[in-house]
Amino acid sequence: MAFDPSIHAVRRQRFLEHLGEAAAVIPAAPLATHHADCEWPFRQDSDFFYLTGFDEPDAVALLLPHRPEGERFVLFVQPKDPAAEVWTGFRWGTEGAVERYGADMAYPLDQLPARLPEFLAGAEAIAFRVGRHPAVEPLVLSTWGRQLDSYSRSGEAAMGLVAPTPILHRLRLRKEPHELERMRQACGISAEAHELARQMTRPGMNEAEVQAAIEAHFRARGARGPAYGSIVAGGDNACVLHYTANTAPLQDGDLLLIDAGCSLEDYYNGDITRTFPVNGCFSGEQRELYALVLEAQEAAVETVQPQGTAEAVHATALRVLVEGLVELGLLAGDPDGIIERGDYRHLYMHRTGHWLGLDVHDVGAYRLGEQPATLEPGMVLTVEPGLYVSDRLAVPEGQPAIEARWKGIGIRIEDDVAVTDEGHEVLTAAALKSVAAMERQAT
């Protein structure tokens, strides 16, 4: 994928327009330690990446609306250093920061303490997200503190710290057309991996083998790898929502729940869950519950449309699930009352979806005070209802005990859905989900 600096320049411009006269300090992510002196593969901070496209650790972007044209985008980066690059690889350095990434000025990161006071001087406020960037925060605070110390002499100091994230996250919530295209690609590769996983699965295999095939496919198709810890959960393991051990043998007669998606080079992600029988054939109980989750999921996807809400998506899925569970005898009573009291939560204990973008659980408000946020074209959310039948949670008073034949069934069906002008687009449609598609002829 060719790097297009204009994408980030337009975003910076839009961000600056909303910032007013506040000067923004946006740090990159540092490398994270795995153990001892071994590090995880680098993962850029999504806000920093959104604004700069710069994909190296230990950098800081300054956006300075109070400065003259040609001094408004400053990058502090790791400088070129052949000796260091022998160990850790190529760096763009200050020259690359200007030439490739469009910085007006660029400096080695170790000059940030000396230069920050000069760049922040004259800004009405400082836009910095406190609590998230421990290496940079003391510097921002001490720079501001010194401005206040000398206010009686200079008459100049930022009047406050403001949060850049509400503005930035409002921008990130609505995806641009090229972002949707990248998300289609991430979802397409993720869907291929799910198809492949279902076709290869046989009783006696280990969850780990299926995980390996999925993640091998991500890498082979050019993705960075999994967007989050892949969940490959046979039988009752599927009732543990964040099961990522993926070490158990797959049993004949069990279902296999797979929640996996890839992350592309520019961090756009897929997030798909599919559930199917390990031996290719649903039992009666598995089929009943699968058909119910599918009905809930499809009904919820239909509610994704402009002027809708994520709240309505959840409410739709929940109503279908609860009514179906009452019919099956897994819940008892009036669906309205069950929903109001939360008497379904031992079977369905999570929400039906989340925003998706550069972060898998992407940024953006779900509510604006009392009002649920309205869906607009360009927003992308997951729709992922499920049912998890196990003994882990107590059955609420007044609800029926669960018969053994239902236990150990965990099902989730998750698609990634973009809001469009006309309604919605299921970005993950290439991953099949009908009852028939989940079954396999005997081989």
By CB under 6 A, name the one of 259, 362, 415, 416 that touches ligand GLY. 259
For ligand GLY, the closer of residues 45 and 259 by Cβ is: 259
Active site residue 314: no
In the region spanning residues 413 to 442, those forming contacts with Mn ion, defined by CB under 5 A, are 414
Catalytic site residue from 182, 274, 354, 424:
354
Catalytic site residue from 11, 267, 388, 415:
388
Q: How far from chain centre, in Å, is Cα 30?
A: 19
Applying CB under 5 A, the span of 142-150, 306-314, 366-374, 379-387 interacting with Mn ion comes to 379-387
Is the C-alpha dihedral spanning 31, 35, 40, 43 positive or negative? Answer: negative
Tokens of 259: 């929640």
Answer whether 256's CB lies under 8 Å from 411's CB.
no
From Mn ion, ligand GLY, none, interface partner of 228 (C-beta below 5 to 8 A by class): ligand GLY
In the region spanning residues 345 to 384, those forming contacts with ligand GLY, defined by CB under 6 A, are 354, 360, 384
- 249 bridge partner residues: 206
For Mn ion, the closer of residues 120 and 360 by Cβ is: 360
Active site residue 345: no
Q: β-strands 125-127, 22-27: how paired?
A: parallel
Amino acid sitting at position 396: P
Radius of gyration for the chain, computed over Cα atoms and rounded to the nearest angstrom: 25
By CB under 5 A, name the one of 211, 275, 286, 382 that touches Mn ion. 382
Q: 303 to each of 32, 126, 329, 366, how far by Cα in Å?
A: 40, 40, 27, 16
By CB under 6 A, name the one of 117, 228, 407, 439 that touches ligand GLY. 228
Active site residue 416: no
**Least distance between ligand GLY and beta carbon 194 (Å):** 13
Catalytic site residue from 55, 192, 215, 414:
414
417 sits in the region (left: phi over 0; alpha: psi -120 to 50; else beta) called: beta
> Is residue 38 packed enough to be buried (19+ CB in 10 Å), middle (13-18) or exposed (0-12)?
exposed
Tokens of 167: 């503005």
For Mn ion, the closer of residues 78 and 190 by Cβ is: 190
By CB under 5 A, name the one of 45, 209, 254, 271 that touches Mn ion. 271
Calculate the CA dihedral of residues 395, 396, 400, 406 and round it to 10 degrees: -30
Integer Cα distance of 165 and 74 in angstroms: 19
Integer Cα distance of 305 and 37 in angstroms: 48
Helices (H), 2-92: 5-19, 46-52, 82-88
**How many angstroms separate the first and last alpha carbons of the chain?**
40
Integer Cα distance of 326 and 332 in angstroms: 5
Going residue by residue from 230 to 259, which x/- string records binding to Mn ion, judged by CB under 5 A? -----------------------------x
Catalytic site residue from 55, 412, 415, 416:
412
For ligand GLY, the closer of residues 236 and 414 by Cβ is: 414
**Least distance between ligand GLY and beta carbon 214 (Å):** 13
Q: If binding means CB under 5 A, how many residues of this protein chain bind Mn ion?
A: 4
Q: β-strands 161-162, 125-127: how paired?
A: parallel
For ligand GLY, the closer of residues 308 and 386 by Cβ is: 386
Per rule CB under 6 A, is residue 416 in the interface with ligand GLY? no
Active site residue 35: no
For ligand GLY, the closer of residues 77 and 411 by Cβ is: 411
Tokens of 49: 């990446």
Active site residue 133: no
Answer whether 355's CB lies under 8 Å from 290's CB.
no
Per rule CB under 6 A, is residue 271 in the interface with ligand GLY? yes
**Least distance between ligand GLY and beta carbon 259 (Å):** 5
For ligand GLY, the closer of residues 169 and 354 by Cβ is: 354
Residues making contact with Mn ion (CB under 5 A): 259, 271, 382, 414
Residues making contact with ligand GLY (CB under 6 A): 228, 259, 271, 354, 360, 384, 414
Would you please indicate which residues are annotated as catalytic (active-site) residues? 37, 242, 259, 271, 350, 354, 361, 384, 388, 412, 414
